[in-house]
Structure 1
Amino acid sequence: MRFRSLLRAAGLIAVAFGAAGCGVPGPATPAATMEPLRRSLSLGGLAEGEPPVTVSYLTAGDPAAARLILVHGTPGAADGWADFLADPPPGLEVVALDRLGFGESGPEGAVTDLADQADAVAALLPDGSRPAILLGHSLGGPIAALAAARHPERVRALILLAASLDPGLERIHPLQHVGAWAPVRAVLPRPIRNANAELLALKPELEALRPELALVRCPVLIVHGTEDDLVPFSNVAYAEAHLTGACRVETVILDGADHFLPWNAAPTVRAAIARAEGMAC
């Protein structure tokens, strides 16, 4: 009976995540077609004495061109960007990673520290011979912003796509605390388990990020839908107010658009990528 109760609780949490929009729409391109594009690299341990961590990623496009790095939200995986990999924006190499704790990247458990996540993104930045554009969707937004802040000489432009940046707007559903209880957590699917841990830790992580946003130096393009009920549209004003060191900040407002812009507003996202590629200080 106790195990049945745990499964019921786990099911309720999974339903809650779906109702909250974590059961996201997806690309038209089948995920299986992405496997020939898969690569991996090894990072050092996330803490002293810990084993190396594998970062899995997909790559397509022109390997000699500027690199576009796509950073997914929570939960998520690299193959959520399959449409952009199957048909890469012209004149770019496209790289989409499985963030730490998701897809085929390690570790098994959640990595809630935005700095650790940003370090994994930074490991995919090309050397100084090629520029990079970072695009972060949802929780991938603050991760991409932190990578741009800490590596200003290697990032040409930053795109914040429905990005969650304002700690004052973060809300926790009561069931998320149930999901953090060890017996329930143990029976949750890995993506939901790790997403729950990330969201529970996000508010203080965003508070710590606030001063670093001023260290972003590259042009920034903010794209957000007015009907986003997962990451409220008022995140735009917060981003504009705190990206004070960026040489340019432009905002694209999508009237009536929801949170799932990579799939529901793909042409706009592609236009934003083309716009960011041409932005200069």
Structure 2
Amino acid sequence: MTTTAAGPAERYALVNGRRLAYVDLGGDGIPVLAVIGHFGRARMFAPLAAALAPAYRVISLEQRGHGHSDTDGDFSRDAYVADAAAFVRHLGFGPVVALGHSMGGVTAYQLAARHPDLVRALIVEEGGAYNRQPEISHPVLDVRGWPRRTVTLGELRRQVEAHGIPDASYFLESAVEHPDGWGFLFDHADMMNSQQALVGDWWPDWLGSSCPALLLHGADSLILPATMVRQMAERRPNTVLRELPGCGHWAHDDDPDGFAAAVRDFLDRL
């Protein structure tokens, strides 16, 4: 694995005619495809990869329209899943462990349902089977008023947090300095379209695979209700639920060690 001052070096794959950015966190172990959620970056899974090495090799994908990955403007669920399937085939691996956070978790379990030959096990962090009201009170984060450019990174943080975000650190992982100031890698309109395309009932996909699955839920999550996660675990055979105390929607950041321990325990039992 090569690294830069900002973390693991990005690589690029030409998938379905578009360039997708990813980080291969190295090793010769069992491959784990890690898929980011909305507004995320591939490097977010670097701490998990370090905790799982050398038995497991984490390859983290930046989904279309995120980070340095291209898009053709199609943010449908079908498009995301097609990208993930083509990416796994591009890598030339056998069936992978598909792990995803939030929207990436939905991509992971839809990949398992629609391409069962590519997935040997599932790990879903905070990705629900419903993503709609009233089950989810706010399925879309309105970023239309967020700044496009600011003079400093600190000012970008201040303006985002002024829109009701308590801590903008997660979103600022996508912040870069452009020639005309600081801004995000993602396009605001693209993120609105992508979030709106995720609104729906995805129970058929969640129940559409039979491989072993781990559900990880932040016990203090304000995004995903505990009642839904428990229903997901009860209704799908071969599924284990782990609720992480003191964690919110970004459990992998709130308790990196506890998150990694839960993932490793599940993987070691496969």
Deviation string, structure 1 residues 162-202 (Cα, Å, up to 9, x no partner): 113313423448983x829xxx9988845361332222232
Quickly say closer, same or farther: Cα 1:190–1:197, change in 2 above 3 A: farther
2:81 is aligned with 1:118: yes
Alignment correspondent of 1:200: 196
Name structure 2 gaps, 5 residues minimum: 150-182
**Separation in structure 2 between the aligned mates of residue 175 and residue 153 of structure 1, nearest angstrom:** 34
2:204 is aligned with 1:211: yes
2:135 is aligned with 1:145: no
Equivalent of 2:186, from 191, 194, 208? 191
Alignment of 1:97-176 (within 5 A): 97-107=61-71, 109=73, 111-125=74-88, 130-168=94-132, 169-172=135-138, 176=142
Question: How far 1:219 sits from its partner (Å)?
Answer: 0.4
**Separation in structure 2 between the aligned mates of residue 58 and residue 196 of structure 1, nearest angstrom:** 25
- Structure 1 SS opposite 2:192: helix
Supply the AA of the counterpart residue of 1:210: W
Supply the AA of the counterpart residue of 1:278: D
User: Between the two proteins, what is the percent identity of the paired residues?
Assistant: 25
Preserved contact between residue 61 and residue 88 of structure 1 (Cα < 8 Å): no
Question: How far 1:146 sits from its partner (Å)?
Answer: 0.3
Alignment correspondent of 1:32: 6
Preserved contact between residue 77 and residue 197 of structure 2 (Cα < 8 Å): no
- Structure 2 SS opposite 1:228: coil
Quickly say closer, same or farther: Cα 1:265–1:30, change in 2 above 3 A: farther
Alignment correspondent of 2:244: 254
2:267 is aligned with 1:272: no
Preserved contact between residue 261 and residue 269 of structure 1 (Cα < 8 Å): yes
Preserved contact between residue 139 and residue 163 of structure 1 (Cα < 8 Å): yes
- Structure 1 SS opposite 2:40: coil
Question: How far 1:79 sits from its partner (Å)?
Answer: 1.6
Alignment correspondent of 2:172: none
Supply the AA of the counterpart residue of 2:55: G
- Structure 2 SS opposite 1:96: strand
Equivalent of 2:222, from 229, 234, 244? 229
Deviation string, structure 1 residues 112-135 (Cα, Å, up to 9, x no partner): 312211222222326886441111
**Separation in structure 2 between the aligned mates of residue 67 and residue 156 of structure 1, nearest angstrom:** 10
Supply the AA of the counterpart residue of 2:242: V
Supply the AA of the counterpart residue of 2:193: A
Preserved contact between residue 57 and residue 78 of structure 1 (Cα < 8 Å): yes
- Structure 1 SS opposite 2:6: helix
So what's the TM-score if we normalise by structure 2?
Answer: 0.74
Name structure 1 gaps, 5 residues minimum: 1-28, 45-51
Question: How far 1:275 sits from its partner (Å)?
Answer: 2.6
Preserved contact between residue 118 and residue 146 of structure 1 (Cα < 8 Å): yes
**Separation in structure 2 between the aligned mates of residue 87 and residue 135 of structure 1, nearest angstrom:** 15
So what's the TM-score if we normalise by structure 1?
Answer: 0.71
Deviation string, structure 1 residues 69-125 (Cα, Å, up to 9, x no partner): 11111111102223234555331111001111001111175x431221122222232
Supply the RMSD in Å over aligned alpha carbons.
Answer: 3.0
Preserved contact between residue 115 and residue 143 of structure 1 (Cα < 8 Å): no
